[in-house]
A and B are shown apart, each in its own frame.
Chain A
Amino acid sequence: AQTVTQSQPEMSVQEAETVTLSCTYDTSENNYYLFWYKQPPSRQMILVIRQEAYKQQNATENRFSVNFQKAAKSFSLKISDSQLGDTAMYFCAFMKGSGGGADGLTFGKGTHLIIQP
């Protein structure tokens, strides 16, 4: 079974600062996918960024980037130039590659990120 650990229950930074959210995972799989989802107060789960484990290059989506360390089983999210709208719960999630990801995502417990004006 896979486990995902987010060690920071809550973080708070000033607007325009850079913030890094941590995530570690445990798996015996070699082929898998990793995701960061954002959940604002509306509770809608929004995909932020995804990473295929076989790709060495770290994924980037505008202000969001990841630091994927496969050997260390670490998958941190960096948000640059943080904005008030980034305030949300952020969940790290794991999906097995075997079986085509059929059995879905395993989630961490989340990090509540607060962007202060």
Chain B
Amino acid sequence: DGGITQSPKYLFRKEGQNVTLSCEQNLNHDAMYWYRQDPGQGLRLIYYSQIVNDFQKGDIAEGYSVSREKKESFPLTVTSAQKNPTAFYLCASRRGVSSGNTIYFGEGSWLTVV
């Protein structure tokens, strides 16, 4: 099946710990995104990448880092500098303009600080 796979589904982080959320897509999309969702809120953009080895900060990048070494993969690291990391995280990828320019989402990952 083609799609976007996020893992793990649930993750617990201790104070001061870095954790990495995985995102893999086999849709051959060039652009990938990470969004954060807090209760009762819409989605806010953390980072995005248009091509391999290139990425840009979104609206709430502080305390997060990403890499894009392969087209299929866009992992997100939540660092200890992120003071309030408990949230639902969604990875997404985008079809190109010629194919409708639409963004599709993975199933998400829950991160909880313990």
A→B interface (CB under 8 Å) = 4, 33, 35, 37, 42-45, 47, 50, 91, 95, 97, 100-110
Contact = CB atoms under 8 A, between A and B. Distances in A.
A95 B56 CA distance: 16
A101 B107 contact: no
Contact of A43 (B40, B58, B94, B108): B108
Nearest to A33: B101
Interface residues of B, number: 27
Given A43-B108, A44-B108, 15 more contacts: A4-B42, A35-B103, A44-B105, A45-B92, A47-B104, A95-B101, A100-B96, A101-B94, A103-B58, A104-B31, A104-B92, A105-B43, A105-B103, A108-B42, A109-B41
Q: Secondary structure of the A side of the interface?
A: mixed
Interface string B99-114: 0111111011000000
B48 A50 contact: no
A102 B41 contact: no
B105 to A, nearest CB: 4
